[in-house]
């Protein structure tokens, strides 16, 4: 098998990353976004849902959890160097790729005018989380709508065509970003999602050894992605030229 080619792109002027839940963007593209922000890119993170199901604690108050997760998301964005966060506030677990959601994505694209849009890959096989699938589809469909002025004229915003769509956790990755220089920033941003330490991060906040175990898992995944193109640590994507 021939090795796929590592074809880095220059940091875009503006990037818009759209994730289903607080922390999805950091897992999928945190290292890439941190590198771009360092290079001067304007990075905006949009989160589709309120994260209100993200707890294993039977005593959890969902309203308090929503507030906490928004605060954590802003802190994580600060670590990555993002310039903006949009919390769209849809109910966690109940997201649907409706015309309303497509319109919301198109309006975000027309407002922020990104060169690159990043999100979940809706074609990823065996993706069981409905919010990840719905977000991927809404982003692909919303980007298509944003480019032509006759879609959603009620936005009263100029149409906008990003150059690239990058989809993380892709079924067929064909683009890699070197995250060796920003791996620690990605880890630090993820650690700001303290409410998730217990659920998706192996209790990473409990102590130094738990944090290191989580870092090791993250490092292993980045190394696996990077090995495909001869990098020590990478995030991989499906790249779609628009």
Closest approach of Cβ 154 to Zn ion, in Å? 30
* Smaller CB separation from Zn ion, 128 or 150: 128
Q: Which residue stretch of 16-24, 28-36, 156-164, 182-190 sits at the interface with Zn ion (rule: CB under 5 A)?
A: 16-24
Residue 17's Cβ-side half-sphere holds a number of Cα atoms within 13 Å equal to 33
Nearer to Zn ion, 24 or 178 (CB): 24
Interaction of residue 21 with Zn ion, rule CB under 5 A: yes
Q: Least Å distance between CB 92 and Zn ion?
A: 9
Q: Which string of DSSP letters, residue by residue, matches the chain?
A: -PPPP----PPPSEEEEEESSTTHHHHHHHHHHHHHHHTT-EEEEEEEE--TT----TT--HHHHHHHHHHHHHHHHHHHT-SEEEEEEEPTT-----HHHHHHHHHHHHHH--SEEEEE-TT-TT---HHHHHHHHHHHHHHHHHTSTTS-GGG-S-----SEEEEES-SS--EEEE-GGGHHHHHHHHHT-GGGTTTTSTTTTS-HHHHHHHHHHHHHHHHHHHHTTT-SSEEEEEEEE-
Question: CB under 5 A: which stretch of 22-30, 39-47, 177-185, 215-223 binds Zn ion?
Answer: 22-30
**Options 17-25, 52-60, 167-175, 200-208: segment touching Zn ion (CB under 5 A):** 17-25
Contact positions with Zn ion (CB under 5 A) in 24-43: 24
Q: Spell out, one character per residue from 193 to 212, where the chain touches Zn ion: x when CB under 5 A holds, - when not.
A: --------------------
User: Which of 20, 109, 138, 215 is close enough to bind Zn ion by CB under 5 A?
Assistant: 20
Contact between 141 and Zn ion by CB under 5 A: the answer reads no
Contact segment (CB under 5 A) with Zn ion among 12-20, 145-153, 185-193, 223-231 equals: 12-20
Alpha-carbon distance of 198 to 132, in angstroms, equals 21
- 80 is a contact residue toward Zn ion (CB under 5 A): no
For Zn ion, the closer of residues 37 and 134 by Cβ is: 134
| Binding residues vs Zn ion (CB under 5 A) | 20-21, 24
């Amino acid at each position: 098998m021939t090795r796929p080619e590592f074809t880095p792109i220059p940091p875009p002027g503006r990037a818009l990353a759209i994730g289903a839940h607080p922390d999805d963007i950091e897992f999928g593209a945190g290292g890439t976004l941190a590198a771009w922000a360092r290079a001067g890119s304007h990075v905006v993170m949009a989160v589709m849902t309120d994260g209100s199901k993200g707890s294993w604690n039977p005593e959890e108050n969902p309203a308090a959890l929503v507030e906490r997760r928004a605060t954590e998301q802003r802190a994580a964005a600060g670590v990555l160097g993002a310039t903006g966060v949009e919390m769209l506030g849809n109910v966690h677990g109940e997201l649907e790729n409706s015309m309303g959601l497509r319109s919301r994505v198109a309006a975000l694209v027309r407002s922020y005018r990104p060169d690159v849009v990043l999100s979940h890959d809706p074609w990823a096989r065996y993706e069981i989380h409905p919010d990840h699938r719905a977000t991927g589809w809404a982003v692909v469909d919303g980007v298509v709508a944003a480019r032509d002025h006759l879609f959603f004229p009620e936005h009263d915003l100029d149409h906008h065509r990003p150059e690239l769509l990058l989809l993380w956790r892709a079924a067929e990755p064909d683009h890699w970003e070197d995250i060796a220089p920003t791996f620690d920033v990605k880890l630090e941003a993820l650690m700001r999602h303290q409410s998730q330490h217990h659920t998706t991060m192996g209790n990473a906040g409990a102590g130094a050894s738990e944090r290191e175990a989580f870092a090791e898992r993250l490092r292993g995944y980045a190394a696996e992605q990077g090995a495909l193109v001869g990098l020590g640590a990478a995030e991989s994507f499906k790249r779609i030229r628009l």
